[in-house]
Amino acid sequence: MASSPCHSSFPLSPPSSCHGGGLLHLPPRPATSPFACYCRAPAAQRDDNDDDEHDTGILQALASNGNGSVHGGVQLAPRQVVDPGGSEEEEVRRGSRLRARDCAKRIMGLPVEERVKVLDLLQCDDGALTVSDYNDILSALARAGDHDSAVALFRAMRSNGVVPDAQSFAIAVQCLCRKGAPGEAKEALDEMVARGYRPTVSTFSAVVGCLCKRGRVSRAMEVFDTMRAVGCEPTIRTYNSLVGGLCYVGRLEEALDLLNKLKESPKQTPDIYTFTIVLDGFCKVGRTEEATAIFHDAVRNGLSPTIFTYNALLNGHCKEGNPLKAYSLLMEMCGSAACPPDRISFSIVLQALLRAGETSAAWQTYKRMDRAGFEAEGRALDTLARGLCRQCAEDISTLADAKEVFGKLVASGHEPVSYTYCLMAQALARGGEVDAAVSLLGEMVRKGYALRKRAYTDVVRALCDRGRARDALRVLALVIARDFVPGRNAFDALLGELARQGRWPDAMAVYAAAVKRGVLVSLKRHIKEALLLQEQQETRESSVQLSVPR
């Protein structure tokens, strides 16, 4: 686009969001330390003398050499007290200044040599600043990360009649990209080209990348075409940004086509990141088979997959509902020294296996993860502990694994949920560790957790099977004290054991407690079973006595 040296379509008015409303306009100012004056906070935000002294101290720090001395012996102009009842123009001018704290924080973070050079320039009058001086200040602000101030100063230098050169435009474009303003960055780049300046590859690539990150691929293509038209050959970084933008907007076929063209190009060769970007795009839409083909294609081209490549493929398998494929790939990574899995790799596969109910594979993944020195998330440990506890019903040998994960979960500071506590108590009771199960139920009661019927019923049964009717009675009393109504199975187990021991008063008390709470149990059945058992025992004893010779 055509434009005169002093006027262009690039917006000159700074955005209103620059440092909390503070914008860098440069109206006529005194010749003494002008920039220091415009670094002060707006008068409306200075409430007392303490703030005044604090800002003055910051301005002194701005003028220092970094070793405690003041550069060139320059004394800062005394702070002017502005009448709150000033004109509207004065209010607007005060509201358009950069805050001193912001400038101090940015500039004082620069190396000493660069800081002194910039502070020298800040002491000069606006009329004495050349485009080279402005470029030094712009560069310092950009290096300090204050992109808003750099863009505001770029606009202000134009309004002061200083014509930006190629370096000024390049810094402004980079700052606009980093602050997430792709539209303005492209306008500045177009004006730069229209003025006859030739942007560098990094400047073009920054705009292409910024546009692609916002999904504005068509505009990025325009910049790409301009780049080639002015004779600037795109780098693989430029192509990677373009490929990423195509994948971001769902144009996967075009991204794959561009990748294939790069493979055949004599000028640019795709790197592993190009393959990873396309692979990740296919994985995100559930096309993992094609992503796997791209993965093998990258290996055939002599490229070594990075951890990002593997994690993208692992995530694709898991999202597509194939956690066991992801588990197999993870085991391959564990056996390879070239690219071992990281914490994200393990977490992706572990959570997917747990969601699919693949407890055995999840346990092996956790063991590998722990051996590698990574800690699993609390929720994953919680789910794994529950899965292992359920397996105890079929294979009691997994109780040790469940205890290990449960202990790790508690030690990590993540509080297990009530359901996990109950399943752990059931597993302990089934495995014969009844005392530990009773202790766990007591801990649940102390923490105010709800008790599941299956949990305390299994504990009561385990106690009764070992003849510990008194302890079983205490557990049942603990449940009743929590205003829970024990189930029929718990009452039946306890009544049966009390009847076998001949403790009829206790049996009657338990039976009364069950009837009072509406639980239907049969005391007669337990009495008959106890009497039958006693009769059988007496018969066996008499048979033994008859068989012994006098």
CB 143 within 8 A of CB 108: no
CA–CA distance, 503 with 492 (Å, rounded to integer): 15
pLDDT band at 58 (very low <50, low <70, confident <90, very high): very low
Average pLDDT over residues 361-377: 94
Q: What is the pLDDT of residue 536?
A: 61
Flag whether pLDDT at 315 surpasses 90.
Answer: yes
The CATH number of residue 137's host domain is 1.25.40.10
- The two tokens of residue 116 are 């002194």
Per-position DSSP letters for 477-524, written without gaps between them: HHHHHTT----HHHHHHHHHHHHHHT-HHHHHHHHHHHHHTT----HH
What phi and psi values does residue 239 have, to the nearest 5 degrees?
A: -65, -40
Average pLDDT over residues 203-218: 93
Flag whether pLDDT at 14 surpasses 60.
Answer: no
Q: What is the pLDDT of residue 120?
A: 54
Flag whether pLDDT at 460 surpasses 60.
Answer: yes
CB 471 within 8 A of CB 438: yes
Q: Give the dihedral sign, CA 253/257/258/262.
A: positive
Average pLDDT over residues 369-381: 93
pLDDT band at 141 (very low <50, low <70, confident <90, very high): confident
Please enumerate in sequence order all residues whose Cβ is within 8 A of that of 417, keeping only pairs 6 or more positions apart, or say none: 382
Average pLDDT, the chain: 78
Flag whether pLDDT at 15 surpasses 50.
Answer: no
Q: What is the pLDDT of residue 549?
A: 57
Domain contains 107:
yes
Tens digits of residue pLDDT in 89-139:
444 344 333 333 455 456 555 665 565 555 555 555 556 678 888 888 888
What phi and psi values does residue 317 have, to the nearest 5 degrees?
A: -60, -40
Q: What is the pLDDT of residue 259?
A: 95
Q: What is the pLDDT of residue 76?
A: 35
Domain contains 499:
no
Percent share of the chain, pLDDT over 90: 45
Q: What angle do CA 435, 440, 445 make, to 5 degrees?
A: 125
The least confident of 354-358, 400-404, 544-548 is 544-548
Flag whether pLDDT at 1 surpasses 60.
Answer: no
Domain contains 537:
no
Average pLDDT over residues 190-203: 92
CA–CA distance, 428 with 402 (Å, rounded to integer): 10
Amino acid symbol at 117: K
Give first-to-last CA distance, the chain, whole Å: 127
Q: Which of 470, 478, 485, 389 is nearest to 433 (CA)?
A: 389
Q: What is the pLDDT of residue 255?
A: 95
Average pLDDT over residues 193-204: 92
Flag whether pLDDT at 322 surpasses 90.
Answer: yes
Q: What is the pLDDT of residue 531?
A: 66
CB 137 within 8 A of CB 118: yes
User: Which residue blocks in 285-433 are alpha helix, DSSP H?
Assistant: 288-300, 307-319, 323-334, 343-355, 359-371, 378-391, 399-411, 418-430
Average pLDDT over residues 405-430: 91
Domain contains 152:
yes
Q: What is the pLDDT of residue 119?
A: 52
pLDDT band at 143 (very low <50, low <70, confident <90, very high): confident
Flag whether pLDDT at 444 surpasses 80.
Answer: yes
Q: What is the pLDDT of residue 533?
A: 64
Q: From residue 139, how far is each of 248, 255, 443 by CA, in Å?
A: 32, 36, 63
pLDDT band at 310 (very low <50, low <70, confident <90, very high): very high
Q: What is the pLDDT of residue 258?
A: 94
Q: Higher confidence at residue 81 or residue 243?
A: 243
pTM listed for this prediction: 0.69
Domain contains 145:
yes
Flag whether pLDDT at 371 surpasses 90.
Answer: yes
Length of the chain: 550
CA–CA distance, 14 with 176 (Å, rounded to integer): 12
Average pLDDT over residues 73-94: 41
Q: Which of 291, 290, 287, 255 is nearest to 274 (CA)?
A: 255
The least confident of 99-103, 321-325, 433-437, 508-512 is 99-103
The total of structural domains in the chain comes to 1
Domain contains 176:
yes
Range of the domain at 148: 98-199
Domain contains 274:
no
Domain contains 109:
yes
Q: Chain-centre distance of CA 56, in angstroms? A: 41
